[in-house]
Amino acid sequence: MKRWSCFCYVIGVLFSSLCVHAQIAPGSIDFHWNEGAKDCKTNPPAPLEVHPYNDTTYILRENLCATSEAPFIYLLIGSSKALLIDTGDVPEPEHMPLAETVMRLLPVFPVNGASKIGLIVVHSHRHLDHRAGDGQFQNLPNVQLVGWDIDSVRKYYGFTDWPNGIAQLDLGNRIVDVLPTPGHNATHVAFYDRNTALFFSGDFFLPGRLFIEDFSAGLSSAKRVASFIEARPVSHVLGGHIEINQAGNTYDWGSQYHPQEHVLQLTKKDLTDLPETISHFNGFYNTYGGFTMLNQERVLIADVAALVLTLAAAGYGLFLYLRRRKRRRTVAQPR
């Protein structure tokens, strides 16, 4: 009897897994983003690009000529609510019509046939290039703007044992799991959409430089994420930026031109391999597994220290030169 129960349990799990896979909403990720321009003053591209992954999932990107950060923004629409992940790097609506574009994409609420469905605006983390557009959504009707500080993040999602636990957002026939992922930043969270099996990793994991603010927290987050997705389907991993070309080389800092840019999406294997990748971080700057990792604060301190030493050496060299010149003049004077 026990064997039959175990058999039924295994069959049930397998059948359930097959059903989950069958319910995944497909989408298109095959899209070439505008690569910016060598000279943004001449024929600048549109400030905002919108790519429909499917009818209820949109990928938006602020153009490189509008901001060299060129962050990605994600809109997920359920039957009763919509979720916007991040608000980008440009605050002015006249330069970046983010709110106008997002509100236009929202469907009309089916109950009254007049107003748009409710919108929840959240952030992957508190860095300014992911929340500068918040002001465009303030005071808009039926829009909830969630704070980006750690207290607001913990309170809104109900995390009582940060960074442990998983929260859920119910958008109406669409559940989004929220996972704490500090490491890049103390407030960072990632999102897993059960509807599309898309994993939104923000700046925690992306095709580019992996800025690791806290090594221990980052490694722990990578392990939790790998454990979370192990038994779940992942269509694509979508991050907050693209900073490398197709050969894997990083673009220069502040570059507004990305020729032959790498694709946005990473894979489930890339994400499951992340603990191994981060475990090889030297705490300063190094490359492993095709990813460049760095601690920006330490690199900045090292750069400043190098600049100070260079200036000090130059100053000392000037001092020696002037002293020798003075001695020569003293010797050359007639007695």
> 3-state SS of 114-175?
CCECEEEEECCCCCHHHCHHHHHCCCCCCEEECCCCHHHHHHHHCCCCCCCCCEEEECCCCE
Least confident range from 12-21, 69-78, 256-265: namely: 12-21
* Domain hosting residue 38, numbered range: 23-294
Tokens read off for 239: 């991050």
Residue 320 and residue 234 in one domain: no
pTM of the predicted model, to two decimals? 0.86
Quick check: is 12 in a domain? no
Residue 48 and residue 68 in one domain: yes
Helix (H, G, I), strand (E, B) or coil at 200: strand
**How many domains are there within the chain?**
2
Residue 89 and residue 199 in one domain: yes
Residue 160 and residue 174 in one domain: yes
Residue 334 and residue 211 in one domain: no
Q: Does pLDDT of 330 surpass 80?
A: no
Spatial distance between the Cα atoms of 245 and 250, rounded to a whole number of angstroms: 7
Quick check: is 14 in a domain? no
Spatial distance between the Cα atoms of 108 and 315, rounded to a whole number of angstroms: 68
Quick check: is 6 in a domain? no
Residue 313 and residue 164 in one domain: no
Residue 335 and residue 262 in one domain: no
Residue 118 and residue 237 in one domain: yes
Residue 309: per-residue pLDDT: 59
Residue 102 and residue 75 in one domain: yes
pLDDT in tens, 93-119: 999 999 999 999 999 876 555 688 999
Quick check: is 7 in a domain? no
Quick check: is 247 in a domain? yes
Residue 108: per-residue pLDDT: 87
pLDDT in tens, 216-251: 999 999 999 999 999 999 999 999 999 999 999 999
Residue 220 and residue 327 in one domain: no
